[in-house]
């Protein structure tokens, strides 16, 4: 079972702005399904959530992912 968080929760947890969260989410969506599983996002009407481990992986490895040197996501 995975934990899913909304934009506000991610913003608070990582101490970043909502616009930065939105930017990261756009970039993560482009990596589904090549890096991240299809179940990375829950889009249910007006409620949008992302798996916590996916967002955290992108925050930690974003530069490595862009450079093509990041380890596979598990």
Q: Please identify which residue in the block is written with the tokens 């939105």.
A: 22
Separation CA 1–CA 53 (nearest Å): 11
Q: What does pTM read for this prediction?
A: 0.93
| Position 1 pLDDT exceeds 80 | no
Give the pLDDT confidence score for residue 34 in this predicted structure.
96
Confidence of residue 47 (pLDDT cuts 50, 70, 90): confident
If 0-12 CB within 10 Å is exposed, 13-18 middle and 19+ buried, where does residue 55 land? buried
SS3 state at 2: coil
pLDDT band at 8 (very low <50, low <70, confident <90, very high): very high
Residue 45 is predicted with a pLDDT of: 83
Residues 12-37 have pLDDT tens digits of: 999 999 999 999 999 999 999 999 99
């Amino acid at each position: 079972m995975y934990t899913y968080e909304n934009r506000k929760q991610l913003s608070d947890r990582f101490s970043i702005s909502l616009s930065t969260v939105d930017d990261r989410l756009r970039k993560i969506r482009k990596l589904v399904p090549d890096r991240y599983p299809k179940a990375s996002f829950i889009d249910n009407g007006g409620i949008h959530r992302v798996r916590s481990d996916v967002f955290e992986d992108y925050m930690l490895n974003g530069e490595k992912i862009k450079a093509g040197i990041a380890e596979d996501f598990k």
